């Protein structure tokens, strides 16, 4: 166990020393995806506005005039898009990086950070859109935004662990790419991204309280929309991060050398 953890930390520290590699590759990835388009990466902002607009003004028309609901959806979508993209892309990570893994001695964590960086850059565009929506909705920048940053920080800290866990899952269980993709699509409806929980019973109660993604969302959202310190959400998210990182480190330590034989 100790040897496995040492191996994992060794891989991570080598990858962090190679930060210029994964930062450069992530930028190229983003650039390549939009290189031939007129709007370029701004398409990510357009996508974000389209989704928030749809939910705020079309899908739930009765709340359309409520600025706090628009802010609720805007932040919910920001976090949910980030989570869903990170998780679904992680499942096929090692398969996509097969030529690098089989041809270089780069630490496995380099690929994890490459994807993490990609997801953060993409989320940066959505974040710009979210801030704009919040300002237009009458939520001026105040100290509550700093509390919201705490939630975002936890989300970012959890990202490499999410990537590791789902990348190993995808390597050992290729069918999971489709299973996870479908679950995340359905998961949006079981997570308070656009619906508001106000003490309902039944499925919504379970979906709200027993869904770890709820706390990632609320940790970012509550300070701005409710003006409260999201202590409970941050605590749950923090414990979840610790658990996820423990699994990620074990997977990395025990199985990183076997990935090359699996892909």
Partner 1 sequence: MTSITLNNVSLVYRLFEKLTLSAPGRRRSALGGNIAKSGTKQVVQALDGVSFELKAGDRLGLVGPNGAGKTTLLKVLYGIYQPSGGTISIAGKVDALFNIHIGFRPEATGRRNIVLRGLISGWTAAEIEEKMEEIIDFSELGDFIDLPFKAYSQGMAARLAFAAATTLEPEILLMDEWIGAGDASFQEKAKRRMDELAEKAGIIVLASHDDALIQRVCTKKLTLRGGRVESLA
Q: Tell me which residues touch partner 1 (CB under 8 A).
A: 18, 20-21, 24-25, 28, 31-32, 35, 99-106, 172-175, 257-258, 260-262
The residue among 53 and 181 lying less far from partner 1, judged by its C-beta, is 181
The residue among 178 and 239 lying less far from partner 1, judged by its C-beta, is 178
Q: What is the CA 121 to chain-centroid distance, rounded? A: 11
The Cβ of residue 7 has, within 10 Å, a number of other Cβ atoms equal to: 17
What's the closest the beta carbon of residue 43 comes to partner 1, in angstroms? 16
What's the closest the beta carbon of residue 182 comes to partner 1, in angstroms? 13
The residue among 43 and 100 lying less far from partner 1, judged by its C-beta, is 100
Q: From residue 157, give the alpha-carbon distance in Å to each of 65, 91, 152.
A: 35, 19, 9
The residue among 210 and 261 lying less far from partner 1, judged by its C-beta, is 261
- To the nearest 10 degrees (0 to 180), the angle between helices 2-17 and 231-255 is 100
How far is 148 from 156, CA to CA, in rounded Å? 13
The residue among 236 and 252 lying less far from partner 1, judged by its C-beta, is 252
What's the closest the beta carbon of residue 171 comes to partner 1, in angstroms? 8
Residue 62, both tokens: 């009765």
What's the closest the beta carbon of residue 250 comes to partner 1, in angstroms? 18
Geometric angle at alpha carbon 81, from 79 and 87, rounded to 5°: 100
How far is 160 from 244, CA to CA, in rounded Å? 10
What's the closest the beta carbon of residue 100 comes to partner 1, in angstroms? 7
Residue 227 φ/ψ region, left for φ over 0, alpha for ψ in the -120 to 50 degree band, beta for the rest: left
The residue among 51 and 168 lying less far from partner 1, judged by its C-beta, is 168
How far is 209 from 215, CA to CA, in rounded Å? 9
What's the closest the beta carbon of residue 21 comes to partner 1, in angstroms? 5
Residue 109, both tokens: 């964590």
């Amino acid at each position: 166990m100790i040897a496995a953890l040492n191996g994992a930390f060794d891989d991570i520290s080598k990858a962090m020393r190679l930060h210029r590699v994964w930062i450069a590759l992530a930028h190229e990835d983003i650039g390549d995806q939009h290189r031939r388009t007129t709007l370029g990466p701004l398409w990510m902002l357009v996508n974000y506005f389209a989704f928030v607009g749809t939910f705020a003004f079309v899908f739930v028309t009765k709340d359309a005039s409520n600025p706090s609901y628009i802010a609720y959806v805007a932040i919910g979508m920001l976090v949910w898009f980030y989570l869903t993209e990170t998780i679904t892309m992680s499942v096929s990570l090692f398969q996509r990086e097969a030529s690098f893994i089989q041809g270089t001695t780069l630490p496995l964590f380099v690929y994890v950070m490459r994807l993490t960086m990609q997801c953060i850059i993409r989320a940066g565009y959505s974040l710009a859109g979210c801030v704009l929506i919040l300002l237009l909705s009458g939520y001026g920048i105040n100290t509550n935004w700093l509390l919201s940053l705490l939630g975002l920080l936890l989300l970012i800290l959890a990202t490499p662990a999410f990537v590791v866990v789902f990348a190993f899952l995808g390597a050992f269980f290729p069918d999971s790419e489709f299973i996870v993709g479908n679950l995340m699509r359905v998961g949006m409806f079981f997570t308070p991204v656009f619906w508001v929980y106000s003490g309902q019973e039944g499925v919504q109660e379970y979906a709200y309280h027993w869904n770890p993604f709820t706390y990632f969302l609320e940790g970012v959202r509550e300070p701005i929309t409710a003006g409260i310190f999201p202590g409970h959400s941050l605590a749950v998210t923090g414990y979840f991060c610790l658990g996820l990182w423990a699994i990620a480190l074990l997977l990395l330590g025990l199985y990183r050398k076997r990935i090359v034989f699996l892909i």
